Amino acid sequence: MREGDEIASILVRAIRETPAREIQDGDILVVAETAISTAEGRVVRLESVVPDRDAQRLAHRYGMDPALVQCILDESDEVVGGIPGFLLCMKHGTLLPNAGVDASNAPPGCVTPLPADPDASALRIKEVIELLTGVRVGVIVADSRTHAMRVGCSGVAIGCAGIPTVMDARGRTDLFGRPLMVTRLALADNLASAAEVVMGEADERTPAAVIRGLGIQVTDISGIESINAEECIFMGLLKQERKRQSSSSHRNDT
């Protein structure tokens, strides 16, 4: 994948050489964010980055490359903390390490930030594929994430077009007739995780996967659903702890 490549047309040609043969109506294509960022010219050469004082301070605190930290700060909406080697950031309405800036599958000396607008990228790929093939498809832009207190990573949808990202089960009943009050199935995230098993994280050279036969209706909707930080158990607790520490520090100073 190179800067300026048209991912949609590459996918259409590549799928013809697989057992899937042709993209079919209702297919869902999961595409790795690194491939999209590369095609969109989002690769950053670290030697060209000039870290500011904040980047140098955080790099010293967490044992990181100052140029890398500067890239992370440039991409992050908020830095909420860190551990040696990583900053925990808010970006695109979610918590993620290093704001998604990653050296994996980037050229030596380079890093790849996330696509600037993953939903727009997904929609653009969907529209071009539909124009080339005449069939309706869904598109998910996938990244990988770690989970609290768990080893390993799984897929997550950071951009989506053509399918709902969440299936609402509220109002349905469980096996014993109790109504479900809060349950919503993270459809796009679960599909991204399934695709990650096929796509891999190393040198598989498989930046996309086709999911077929789910029977999910393809529409013109696009976008990832998220919640406010105050509604999130992780961000809510983080903010409470930071507020508590700030109050404690203020009392000690006085």
Q: CA–CA separation, 213 vs 125, rounded Å?
A: 20
* CATH architecture, domain defined by 1-36+116-223: 2-Layer Sandwich (3.30)
Interatomic CA distance for residues 243 and 245, integer angstroms: 5
Euclidean distance between CA atoms 119 and 158, whole angstroms = 7
- The reported pLDDT for the residue numbered 235 is 74
The domain defined by 43-113 folds into CofE-like fold (3.90.1660)
- pLDDT over 60 (residue 254): no
Q: Binning pLDDT at 50, 70 and 90, where does residue 251 land? A: low
Domain boundaries, the chain: 1-36+116-223, 43-113
Segment 53-80 shows an average pLDDT of: 96
Query: How far is CA 143 from its chain centroid?
Result: 4
pTM: 0.89
* 100 pLDDT higher than 90: yes
10, 18 contact by CB (below 8 A): no
